[in-house]
Amino acid sequence: MLQPQDKRLALQAYEQILDLIQSKRAQPGEIVTERRLAEMLDMSRTPIRDALLMLEGEGLLIRRGTRGLQVKQIRIEDFMDALQIRSLLEPAMARMAAGRIPAGDLDSLRNQLQTLAAGGENDRMSVREVDERLHEMIARAAGNPQLEQIIRTVRRQTQMFDLRSMPERLGDTCAEHIAIVDAIASGNAEASAKAMADHLSAVRRAIVARLTGG
């Protein structure tokens, strides 16, 4: 298991490699390797390796045997399909988790989200860390390891459309997450499911608006 410092270094490497992909400096079909990226980003190979595994899990890189990992052609349809799966499964998981997460853990998350929202700064890495912590808590509390793994995999496929591409979503993202936290803390299963469904619907609308220029 990654230690906090190791995880942060891996996330920093992830951010930089993702930027290479999104900016098309790493073209679809291009082979990327740990050694080359470590030299380019002036980082050790360990966080690079962890970042590449994350990007492979999100479907942005495809393993090509001993040649390394290849940048995948990004298809918007894939992301929308993954988001539809999340919309079907995650409200059910939130329903199962209602009332089953320690109040202290939820209070800590709420305080972090309120601080991020009040600051108004697009600290994408901090928001992502809080987002992952919330969803991991919900998944564990739901008590279904197979469902947890499915959702973790599908979530990775939609994380490209987060605050990097939609910085205007910072305030809304924090507010939606706080609503999920409050609903779960109340123990109201249906309110928890609705808060999660509302959040995912808002994400989908924002993606559609961004893609269509609306």
Q: Could you read off the pLDDT of 45-59 as tens digits, one per residue? A: 999 999 999 888 878
Residues 104, 37 share a domain: no
Q: Give yes or no for a contact between 69 and 29, defined as CB atoms under 8 angstroms apart.
A: no
- State both tokens at 140: 């564990």
The total number of structural domains in the chain stands at: 2
Distance CA(100)–CA(174), nearest Å, equals 21
In a shared domain, residues 96 and 188:
yes
186 shares a domain with 109: yes
134: which 2 tokens? 């919330």
pLDDT tens-digit map of 116-156? 888 755 566 677 788 889 988 999 999 999 998 888 888 87
Q: What are the backbone dihedrals phi and psi of residue 70, each rounded to the nearest 5 degrees, phi first?
A: -110, 135
Give the separation between CA 16 and CA 24, rounded to whole angstroms. 12
Q: Give mean pLDDT, residues 164-168.
A: 69
Phi then psi for residue 62, to 5 deg, are -120, 130
- The string of DSSP letters for 169-189 reads GHHHHHHHHHHHHHHHHHT-H
The answer on 208 and 102 residing in a single domain is yes
CATH number at residue 15: 1.10.10.10
Residue with tokens 């619907």: 201
Q: What is the pLDDT of residue 178?
A: 97
pLDDT digits (tens, 9 = 90+) for 180-196: 999 999 999 999 999 99
Same domain for 61 and 158, yes or no, is no
- Which residue, 51, 71, 91, sits at the end of a domain? 71
Domain carrying residue 54: 4-71
